[in-house]
Structure 1
């Protein structure tokens, strides 16, 4: 019985160590890849960035170190104002990551909170990409 008990304790200890190791690994789902495109998702990364009515997560599509497009994700912003704010994202298209992260894009009048949140998400996502590509 003692050998069996020791074997069980050893197995449980090994499982506990594996669980601790796996939980310490980053599993933030921030960066993914589709063919030759890297996609940066700011849903978790920018969870503290708020627009007028909450988070404004985005997906940044990067190919050959250039921003291909930026898509907004579901949010609770007022559609009328958020629709205006998200037009500023087009200014990043075609820019290198290094240039895009330094851009000083004007916010959209009447959608200031949403505009600022989107710009912060872009910067945060691009900086994350540069550190983790």
Structure 2
């Protein structure tokens, strides 16, 4: 019987949840307002964590968001230490996750092709 989740998977999910709540409720920097955390990757020794996020604004204002997140990283790390009981609280590294936008764009392109294909088949006199 396989394991449900490894310890590192549980820790990274808890870090993602706690950071999302902290950013939403505790960080007062307006640059950090409309982001969603998509994933967290942690090193095996828990020394570093890559925190991936998307923004409702897309890539617009990305540098300001990253600046706000980097300025808040010490506060976020300290608060994580209070909420999560692990030996080492990871240093936080924030990265923009463009995969959601790419997926949305690809989905729109596929929908257009399907719509064009359906229109072509309904206009076909041989059917």
* Superposed pair shares fold, TM > 0.5: no
Q: TM (normalized to structure 2)? A: 0.36
Q: TM (normalized to structure 1)? A: 0.35
